[in-house]
Amino acid sequence: MRKRLIVQKFGGSSVANVERIQNVAKRVAAYKKKGNDLVVVVSALGDTTDELIKLADQINSDPSEREMDMLLSTGEQISVALLAMAVHKLGFEAISFTGAQGGIITDAAHTRARIIKINTDKIKEELKRGRIVIVAGFQGITLNQDITTLGRGGSDLTAVALAKELGADECEIYTDVEGIYTTDPRIEPKASRISAITYDEMLEMASLGAQVMQSRSIEVAKKFNVPIHVRSSFSDKPGTMIIEEVKKMEEVVVNGVTLNKNEVKITICDVPDRTGIAAKIFNQLAANGVSVDMIVQNVSRLRQTDISFTVSKSDSQKALKLTKKVAASIKAGQVIEDHDIARISIIGVGMKSHPGVAASMFETLARNKINIEMISTSEISISCIIKKKFSEKAVKVLHEKFGLAK
Ligand code: ADP
Ligand code: ASP
Ligand code: MG
């Protein structure tokens, strides 16, 4: 019988301390014992990445992105070595690799690099020797030998890309919750686990703030049809399958509620109402790698208008600098930044065929005295920008309204 190949990824909380690393080692060894081939991807211990970012900030608030990657990649290098040692201690053979050693080749877009290709020869060689191969998540190397990272949460991407490239039989993402829930179970204890979810819905949830899976990893999984099993590293219970299609007896209208507190709103006041002005502003941002999210342009009074948009917190300083420059060049007014915002979203494929979902969302927020500052919609989601202080309340009332509570 052909050996099964399993790719398992363990997130930061699953390897946060010695005991948990030993727990992961035991789990990995148990799978190996069953005769499977195993490639294990690990994230940095606990909050290491956040701590390294804070440390860098104390040295230089505008650090070089290349050096940032040199720094952040060290987190995962610690985890792989420790996990390999823990596996050895259990009497199993294992070898740890950095992203570079694992053959993960990326472009040079430091801090958000894209995987170009994976040379799996070295991994395959070690698997053939019967070893458990432990690969550092979240990192790769350019053809120029510079270390890169794949964006926050990037270990998910490492795992999915390796599963695809190695033709793995299973891709398991182990985390600190028992799968994908209707909303963040840390905010709403009544959230329920979803047993299966489509790539499209998961992608929408991930890009709208459900940090449990990195959205780019879902893009890759969808593109190559890699089924993912998200489950708890602390139990053996089945979690959530992320797959192409989920057959339901009856379409659920709303499948999930997400919250994103990592966006900043930038407003340019008194923008002259002339053709090509919006292009000028957003071209500047795009050319500098800043992706803009929601955009609202008010109706023009006296041939002037205000334009607001949101960007992710990590891009906000860069975006602000660029926007101020463009604002001056087009003779617009003040540029204001607002950090006191949160994005609340509802997601569901069923929305396509059910009118009135948006109205129902707005009405629920209004009834709870939550003012909406911006709105955006896609085919399968509706998002509102609200004040941060209403975040948790908004999650709960919408979760309740759309019948998602346990
Ligand atoms: P890891 O360290 O394993 O990568 P993350 O912290 O990145 O874990 O993601 C897991 C966390 O995502 C959970 O602890 C949970 O609070 C949060 N989360 C947000 N939305 C959801 C959701 N819809 N379902 C499950 N978890 C969610
Ligand atoms: N350690 C990285 C981060 O915190 C990558 C990951 O955890 O997936 O973003
Ligand atoms: Mg994660």
- Widest CA span of the chain, in angstroms? 77
How many CB atoms lie under 10 A from the CB of residue 270? Answer: 17
Going from the Cα of 122 to the center of ligand 1, the distance in angstroms, rounded, reads 32
Q: What burial class does residue 279 get, using C-beta atoms within 10 Å of its C-beta: 0-12 exposed, 13-18 middle, 19+ buried?
A: exposed
- Counting Cα atoms < 13 Å in the Cβ hemisphere of 79 gives 36
Contacts of 163 (CB under 8 A, 6+ apart): 7, 170, 171, 226
pLDDT at 56: 97
Q: Which ligand sits nearest to residue 156's alpha carbon?
A: 2
Closest CA to 255 of 179, 347, 357: 347
More confident residue, 184 or 289: 184
Pairing of β 263-272 and β 240-243: unpaired
How far is 137 from 221, CA to CA, in rounded Å?
16
Q: Are strands 256-260 and 381-387 parallel, antiparallel or unpaired?
A: unpaired
Using most ligand atoms within 8 A of CB, pick from 211, 254, 392 the residue to mutate for ligand 1.
211
- Probe residue for ligand 2, chosen from 52, 74, 150, 152 as the CB with the greatest number of ligand atoms within 8 Å: 152
CATH number of the domain within which 15 lies: 3.40.1160.10
Q: For 62-85, what is the mean pLDDT?
A: 97
Q: Is residue 77 part of a domain?
A: yes
pLDDT at site 1: 64
> Does residue 45 form part of some domain?
yes
- 301 falls in which pLDDT band (50, 70, 90)? confident
Looking at the domain assignment, is residue 263 inside a domain? no
Say if ligand 2 is within 6 A of residue 92 CB. Answer: no
Lowest-pLDDT range of 1-15, 215-229, 243-257 = 243-257
Q: What's the average model confidence in pLDDT over 146-171?
A: 98
pLDDT bracket for residue 149 (50, 70, 90): very high
Instruction: Kindly state whether residue 240 falls inside one of the protein's structural domains.
Output: no
Residue 160: which domain range? 5-176
Ligand 2 nearest-atom number relative to CA 153:
8
CA–CA separation, 230 and 179 (whole Å): 5
Token code pair at residue 101:
């050693």
Give whole-number Cα distances, 393 to 193, 292, 375, 396, 397, in Å: 20, 26, 18, 5, 6
Mention every residue, 6+ apart, whose C-beta is less than 8 A from residue 165. Answer: 118, 120
Rounded to two decimals, the pTM is 0.94
| Ligand 1 close to Cβ of residue 75 (< 6 A) | no
Residue nearest to atom 5 of ligand 1 (CA): 212
Structural domain contains residue 232: no
Q: How far is the CA of 22 from the centre of ligand 1 (A)?
A: 22
In a 3-state reduction of DSSP, which class is residue 87?
A: helix
Would the CB of 194 count as within 6 Å of ligand 1? Answer: no
Q: Does residue 61 belong to any structural domain of this protein?
A: yes
Pocket test for ligand 1, best of 177, 231, 235, 404 (most atoms within 8 A of CB): 177
In this structure, is residue 70 part of a structural domain? yes
Return the residue whose CA atom lies nearest to atom 17 of ligand 1.
212
**Per-residue confidence band for 304, with pLDDT thresholds at 50, 70 and 90:** confident
Region 246-253 average pLDDT: 78
Give how many domains the chain has, as a whole number. Answer: 1
Assess whether pLDDT exceeds 90 at residue 208.
Answer: yes
Number of Cβ within 10 Å of residue 93's Cβ equals 13
Mean pLDDT of the chain: 95
Q: How much distance in Å is there from the Cα of 57 to the middle of ligand 3?
A: 22
Taking the CA atoms of residue 295, residue 299, residue 305 and residue 307 in that order, the dihedral angle to the nearest 10 degrees is -10
DSSP collapsed to 3 states, 331-370: CCCCEEEECCEEEEEEECHHHHHCCCHHHHHHHHHHHCCC
Q: List the residue whose alpha carbon is closest to atom 25 of ligand 1.
A: 180
The residue whose two tokens read 């959205």 is 215
Question: Which residue in the block uniquely carries the two structure tokens 């930044």?
Answer: 337
Residues paired with residue 379 on neighbouring β-strands, in sequence order? none
The mean-pLDDT minimum among 35-39, 251-255, 372-376, 389-393 falls in 251-255
Q: Residue 330 — very low, low, confident or very high, per pLDDT cuts 50/70/90?
A: very high
Secondary structure class of 69 (helix, strand, coil):
helix
Give CA–CA dist 188/194, Å, rounded: 14
Rounded mean pLDDT, 179-190: 97
DSSP structure class, residue 168: -
pLDDT of residue 62: 87
Is residue 333 a contact partner of residue 268, using CB atoms and an 8 Å limit?
A: yes
Atom of ligand 2 nearest to the CA of 155: 8
Residue 329 one-letter amino acid: S
Distance from the CA of 212 to the center of ligand 1, in angstroms?
Answer: 3
Q: Which ligand is nearest to the CA of 11?
A: 1
Q: Is the pLDDT of residue 242 over 90?
A: yes
Distance 53 CA to ligand 2 centre (A): 12
As a whole number, mean pLDDT of residues 151-162 equals: 97
Ligand sitting nearest the alpha carbon of 230:
1
CA distance 130 to 94: 8
CA of 292 to the centre of ligand 3 (A): 23
- Which pLDDT does position 299 carry in this prediction? 76
